Amino acid sequence: MSDILIHSEGGICTLTLSRPDKKNSMTSSMYTELAQAFSLAKQTEEVRVLVLQGSETVFCAGNDIHEFIQNPPEKSDAPVFQFLEALIAFPKPLIAGVCGPAVGIGTTLLFHCDLVYAGDNAVFSMPFVNLGICPEAASSLLVPAVMGYHRAAQALLLGEPFMAEAALEVGLVNQILPPTELKAFVQRQAAKIAAKPQRSVLETKRLLKEHLLPGLQTRMREEATHLVQLLKEPAAKEALQAFEEKRKPHFAGL
Ligand code: COA
């Protein structure tokens, strides 16, 4: 069975990350499926809004660490980068519902969503430095732009997590809800947009975002080059191996 569940109804296409035993961490095949789903949603006229969500207890634990070791992205056409290209340029409204941990790409993808709703159990983190790698998804541009430089440095240089309330305060999250109510609320918000004149909605999103796109794409591709390189270096190898072995990494001298 697929780790991405797809449900379309009433103009809303809902993608649910569903790999609970590995905390919805993302494999290459999940990135490929997501990229395809985004592409189909873009082309399909009946789809007016796209929703991305996890479960009530976890949104996404970031890239699958086992895959980072066994099958790391090597080139710009790797599935993770194909997904990010599709995400960044997605022209229709995209709404995220986030409960529990949102790690790495689980947080950085949210900066590309139009609306983000969080359960009160949501915890956001971008621990790239803890893994010996660097930001992705143009987060090195978007995190300081949205959160302010010093909060961005706390999140990206220290790799410190932040809770739903902090995400609301900085404007990454639109509203916080009890986790049990989140999915239904997100569907109601999506339905409100789906009921509006589509040309007007699409034109509005285009006007909001199109001018930012070239800069985001350039930064995302630059980050990707460094990420691919850093994954080959000793610090990342040690950090990823340490996660697999459920121990603390040793970065002395690295
Ligand atoms: N890649 C692969 N497996 C992962 C994973 C990831 N990113 N995140 C969690 N898992 C696996 C764990 O190895 C564990 O597998 P096991 O049961 O076979 O041992 C299972 O999912 C449950 O994880 P666990 O850590 O026990 O759950 P938790 O509720 O205590 O913590 C997280 C949840 C998400 C906070 C924690 O798993 C975590 O920090 N994961 C790594 C996040 C990360 O660094 N991602 C990469 C960002 S680039």
pLDDT at residue 224, as a whole number:
97
Q: How far apart are CA 5 and CA 15, in angstroms?
A: 6
Expressed in angstroms and rounded, the spacing between residue 190 Cα and the centre of ligand 1 is 30
Segment 52-65 mean pLDDT: 98
- pLDDT tens readout for residues 94-148: 999 999 999 999 999 999 999 999 999 999 999 999 999 999 999 999 999 999 9
Segment 188-194 mean pLDDT: 98
Place 1 in a pLDDT band, splitting at 50, 70 and 90: confident
- pLDDT tens readout for residues 166-187: 999 999 999 999 999 999 999 9
Expressed in angstroms and rounded, the spacing between residue 239 Cα and the centre of ligand 1 is 13
Residues with CB under 6 A from ligand 1: 22-23, 25, 61-66, 101, 103-104, 127, 131
pLDDT at residue 21, as a whole number:
97
CA of 130, closest atom in ligand 1: 44
Residue 85 pLDDT > 90: yes
Nearest CA to ligand 1 atom 15: 22
Question: Can you spell out the DSSP letters for the chain?
Answer: --SEEEEEETTEEEEEE--GGGTTPBPHHHHHHHHHHHHHHHH-TT--EEEEE--SS-SB--B-HHHHHHS---STTSHHHHHHHHHHT--S-EEEEE-SEEETHHHHGGGG-SEEEEETT-EEE--TGGGT----TTHHHHHHHHH-HHHHHHHHTS---EEHHHHHHHTS-SEEE-HHHHHHHHHHHHHHHHTS-HHHHHHHHHHHHGGGHHHHHHHHHHHHHHHHHHTTSHHHHHHHHHHHTTS----TT-
Q: Domain 1-178+198-254 belongs to what architecture?
A: Alpha-Beta Complex (3.90)
* Residue 22 · residue 29 · CB < 8 Å: no
pLDDT at residue 95, as a whole number:
99
| Bridge partner residues of 53 (DSSP) | 16, 97
Residue 237 pLDDT > 90: yes
Place 234 in a pLDDT band, splitting at 50, 70 and 90: very high
Using the structure block, give the residue that is written with the tokens 């949603």: 41
CA of 128, closest atom in ligand 1: 48
- pTM for the model stands at 0.98
Nearest CA to ligand 1 atom 16: 22
* Residue 251 · residue 235 · CB < 8 Å: yes
pLDDT at residue 133, as a whole number:
98
pLDDT at residue 90, as a whole number:
98
